[in-house]
Amino acid sequence: MPRVLVVDDNVELAEDLVEILTGEGHQALAAFGGREALSRAAEYDYDAALVDIRMPDMDGVALVGRLMRERPDRSYFFMTGHSSDRSISEAMALSQGAVLEKPLDIDRMLRLIAAAGRHSARPST
């Protein structure tokens, strides 16, 4: 099952997503901002990251750019509550078109995460 790093400054949403993902059999870890995500990503071997675009301490697109330098073979998906956000085009380019609008379509999110696990370069444990 895929390991997922969930990054959102909305603590309740991040914790809810971790609960949903673990309920589906995935391993998931929350980070409540970009800086915390960088720290956690250094220690957590994730297959996919689910990242909010707008966060106060670091833009999600910038965060994924940094994460991709270390782990380019992982899958990165974005979440946004601002469909008119100009960062969406950048996010689309980084995530192969997988930008999820809030409120999230949980079934779509789970399908994307499952596909990421099947395509991960990380050896199974």
105-124, pLDDT tens digit by residue? 999 999 999 998 876 655 44
Burial of 47 (0-12, 13-18, 19+ CB in 10 A): buried
Tokens of 99: 């930008």
Give the CATH number of domain 3-119; options: 3.40.50.2300, 3.90.1150.10, 3.90.245.10, 3.90.950.20: 3.40.50.2300
Domain segments of the chain as ranges? 3-119
How far out from the chain centre does Cα 117 lie? 13
pLDDT beyond 70 at 102: yes
Which of 6-10, 52-56, 80-84 is most confident?
Answer: 6-10
Q: How far apart are CA 63 and CA 68, in angstroms?
A: 9
- State which amino acid sits at residue 9: D
pLDDT beyond 90 at 104: yes
**pLDDT value at residue 43:** 95
User: What mean pLDDT comes out for the span 44-67?
Assistant: 94
**pLDDT value at residue 120:** 64
**pLDDT value at residue 98:** 81
